[in-house]
Amino acid sequence: MGPLRCPKCGQLRVRRCHREGPVDHALSVVYVYPFLCLVCGRRFRALRWGRRYTTQPTQGREVERIAVRAPLVVSGAGARVDGEITGLSLQGCTAWTRVRLREGATVRLELLLEPAEPPVVVAAALVRSVRSDKAGIDFVGVSPDEERRIRRILTSLHHVEHDEGVPAAPPIQDGRRGVLRTPVFWLMTLLLVLATLVLTVFVPSFSRCVWGVSC
């Protein structure tokens, strides 16, 4: 089974993400898992036959910020502060600033990600966390054009990378004994038994035919 590609942007940098709701949990029984593209943020499902993934606790955002260094200007409350981006994703960034930002503040960002191009403007951003002189900032107001620019820049950073992010368990065993131990076998067996019981109860002729009384 080959590497996964994001169905939206075609990039290889995807990772298994946490299951949400009964549908994701049910599909994982037959090896269909949810994945997240680290470039464009698209969530999708894919078949990974014979693989099991370890359950990991949720730790805030699931999209990793990519290490990058670029100038940054933060504007808010009538002041402008220079800084530097140290991590970037489609949803936000990590930044160092000369003046400590206030947690919970809404600011405007100018990201100088391309030297020969105008800065990427984020009209509204939320300072989610502040640690020492670094801040975690979420983008909450980005125009479609600027979002496309950020996605293009991230795509170039991820050009040839691939990382599913979660180690897979050993492949299922070969042979009949291995098949008997798979969840798919027992799920299909359960469905077959339930279907037989339903037909026996609601279709009397089926019961007579099965037991050879009259067909």
Q: Read out DSSP for 177-208?
A: HHHHTSHHHHHHHHHHHHHHHHHHHH-HHHHH
**DSSP-based three-state secondary structure for 115:** coil
Name which of 62, 32, 34 is nearest 47 in CA terms: 32
Residues 188 and 122 in one domain: no
78 & 132 share domain: yes
Q: Which residues span the domain enclosing 114?
A: 66-157
Residue 197 lies in a domain: yes
Whole-number average pLDDT of the chain: 77
CA angle 62, 67, 69 (to 5 degrees): 140
105 found inside a domain: yes
Domain membership of residue 13 (yes or no) is no
123 lies in some domain:
yes
User: What pLDDT is attached to residue 165?
Assistant: 45
pLDDT digits (tens, 9 = 90+) for 87-114: 998 889 999 998 889 999 999 999 999 8
Instruction: Give the model's pLDDT for residue 107.
Output: 94
Q: Do residue 83 and residue 128 come from a single domain?
A: yes
Same domain, 122 and 96: yes
pLDDT band at 64 (very low <50, low <70, confident <90, very high): low
Whichever domain contains 96, its CATH number is 2.40.10.220
Q: What percentage of the chain exceeds 90 in pLDDT?
A: 27
Residues 179 and 151 in one domain: no
Model confidence at 83: pLDDT above 80? yes
Residue 126 has pLDDT above 90, yes or no: yes
Same-domain pairing of 187 and 111: no
Could you give the number of structural domains in the chain? 2
Give the pLDDT of residue 27.
85
45-78: b or e for each residue (b if 16 or more CB lie within 10 Å)? ebebeebbbeeeeeeeebbebbebebebbbebee
Q: Is residue 35 part of a domain?
A: no
Whether this model's pTM surpasses 0.75:
no
- pLDDT value at 57 more than 90: no
Asked whether residue 121 is domain-assigned, the answer is yes
How far apart are alpha carbons 164 and 4 in whole angstroms?
8
* One domain, residues 147 and 182: no
User: Do 128 and 86 fall into the same domain?
Assistant: yes
Is the CB of residue 33 less than 8 Å from the CB of residue 169?
A: no
Is residue 125 domain-shared with residue 180, that is, in the same domain?
no
Q: What is the pLDDT of residue 129?
A: 92
* Same-domain pairing of 179 and 147: no
Residue, of 46 and 168, whose pLDDT is higher: 46
Give pLDDT tens digits for 145-182. 998 899 888 877 765 344 444 444 344 344 444 445 55
Please state which of the ranges 51-65, 123-137, 173-187 shows the lowest mean pLDDT.
173-187
- 169 lies in some domain: no
54 in any annotated domain: no
pLDDT at 203: 65
Q: pLDDT higher for 196 or 116?
A: 116
Residues 187 and 143 in one domain: no
Cα–Cα dist 200/195, whole Å: 9
Is the predicted pLDDT of residue 50 greater than 60, yes or no? Answer: yes
Q: Is 149 helix (H, G, I), strand (E, B) or coil?
A: helix
- The reply to whether 74 and 118 lie within a common domain is yes
Q: If pLDDT is split at 50, 70 and 90, which confidence band does 58 have? A: very low
